[in-house]
Structure 1
Amino acid sequence: MSQLRTAALVATVNALCDRLQQAREPAMAFDAIGAATLQAMGPGLLTINAWHAGPAQIERLWSSNPSAYPVGGRKSKGDSAWRRQLLERGEVFVGEGDAALAAVFDDVQVIRGLGCTAVVNVPLCYQSRVIGTFNYLADRSAWPVAELAALRVLAALATPAVHALLAARG
């Protein structure tokens, strides 16, 4: 990694930590994590969602593109290999290429329209239970291992805010 890239990454991490320390509500934490994710990963779509297992629905809590993916939007998630992997077993899902996206997303046309060709869905787990997802879509032919690791760390930072929001709702 070049010195310039290292310096930019350090600045992003330090700014994120400072903003998280000042976050008084989950939305502020989501804003900080979203900004850091897009700065570190480059252009793409990021959504942070709650998982409601009872009704089998994903609820969008934060979106980097609220016109295409508005906060508050909900999607039902029926039984599928994707659901079992991500939402039930709590395993990261990596999708690369149009066929992979079309196999798991019914809104693949919107995703294509945003120029995204690949996705990483990271489960947000609290006390060994999936409570949400952290989804980053971008134009990639393949996900570098370092980006996958960075997305998992950023997702872990979002988990307390998702939990706090859900706990506040009762």
Structure 2
Amino acid sequence: MSHLRTAVLVPTANDLCDQLQQARDPAAAFAAIGAATLQAMGPGLLTINAWHAGPAQIERLWSSDPSAYPVGGRKSKGDSAWRRQLLERGEVFVGEGDAALAAVFDDVQQIRALGCTAVVNVPLCHQGRVIGTFNYLADRTAWSAAELAALRMLAALAASVVRDWRAARG
């Protein structure tokens, strides 16, 4: 069963477009994208991150749960199948079930404590290179095609904001 709330998707998309036009800084744009994601997808954890390939680190730019996953937090990402898929090849990663989460995330206990059982990591790309990630975790046994499509579209909006954030930082 899909958790995508299709009845709110069109109004949410229209509101989001209006909010993004008015956003004065990346934080406001990320907050609008985050609110739209949670409204369309239901309860879960969303983080939006920048990818720094040089030090091989993810930097959290926005979080729907800043007490558990604060903005500014960084994680080193060593060589792994997940890193090669998501951060190097720029391919979406879909993880469903406890074993999939445990195989990929060193903070799986914290993820479990939030009630999340599945993840979709969408690479944020600019000019063919990964510049960040859009990560939605929730209580799911499986992701529907509609949910994956919605998350990829929302991530595409976040990619331009991450690009602008990176450009402003030099």
How does the TM-score come out when normalised to structure 2? 0.96
Structure 2, unaligned runs of 5 or more: none
- How far is 1:24 from its partner? 1.4
Q: Taking structure 1 as reference, are residues 32 and 132 closer, same or farther at Cα in structure 2, changes over 3 Å only?
A: same
The aligned counterpart of 1:87 is 87
- Structure 1 residues 14-163: aligned runs within 5 Å: 14-163=14-163
Percent identical across equivalent pairs? Answer: 86
- How far is 1:11 from its partner? 1.1
Code of the residue aligned with 1:80 in structure 2: it is S
What is the CA deviation profile of residues 72-117 of structure 1, one whole-angstrom value per residue up to 9, with x for unaligned ones? 0000000000000000000000000000000000000000000000
Contact 2:86 2:92 (C-alpha < 8 Å) held by counterparts: yes
- How far is 1:8 from its partner? 2.1
What is the CA deviation profile of residues 55-86 of structure 1, one whole-angstrom value per residue up to 9, with x for unaligned ones? 00000000000000000000000000000000
What is the CA deviation profile of residues 113-165 of structure 1, one whole-angstrom value per residue up to 9, with x for unaligned ones? 00000000000000000000000000000000000000000000001110111
What is the CA deviation profile of residues 1-27 of structure 1, one whole-angstrom value per residue up to 9, with x for unaligned ones? xxxx65422111111010011111111
How does the TM-score come out when normalised to structure 1? 0.96
Question: What is the SS of the residue equivalent to 1:167?
Answer: helix
Code of the residue aligned with 1:137 in structure 2: it is L
**Deviation beyond 6 Å, 4+ runs, structure 1:** none
Partners of 2:167 and 2:122 in 1: CA distance: 21
Q: Alpha carbon RMSD of aligned pairs, Å?
A: 0.8
Task: Report the count of equivalent residues.
Answer: 166
